[in-house]
Amino acid sequence: MDVHFSYSERSVTYFGAGVTIDLGRGGVRFQTDTPPPVGTEAELRIAWPFLLQGSCALELVIWGSILGTRQGGTVLRMSGYEFRTRGERSFSESQERPEICSITA
């Protein structure tokens, strides 16, 4: 799945993109050309492959610290996560017209 990430270092926010390799209960391994430094607190936004109520795109937002980077990818240890509805701010949509999404209880 596509992933966008951000982290801050010395009051500067950096952004990057890549793809997930493994996603588990305790962390995420992802591949990127610009990995965050080890020990950095980062936020990942993963394009979720399923729609909410069959029509609304979702993203999984994960917070955590970068444990390391090797040839097999960069590993983030998860400290928190939540699902959010997503729009063009996170991932480009290939729809001709955007859909309005709402959640009903």
Q: Is 56 exposed, middle or buried (0-12, 13-18, 19+ CB in 10 A)?
A: middle
Q: Rounded to whole angstroms, how far apart are CA atoms 24 and 26?
A: 6
pLDDT tens digit at each of 105 positions of the chain: 899 999 998 899 999 999 999 999 899 999 999 999 999 999 999 988 888 888 888 899 999 999 999 888 999 999 999 998 876 544 544 334 444 444 444
Architecture of domain 2-85: Beta Barrel (2.40)
pTM of the prediction? Answer: 0.74
Residue ranges covered by each domain of the chain: 2-85
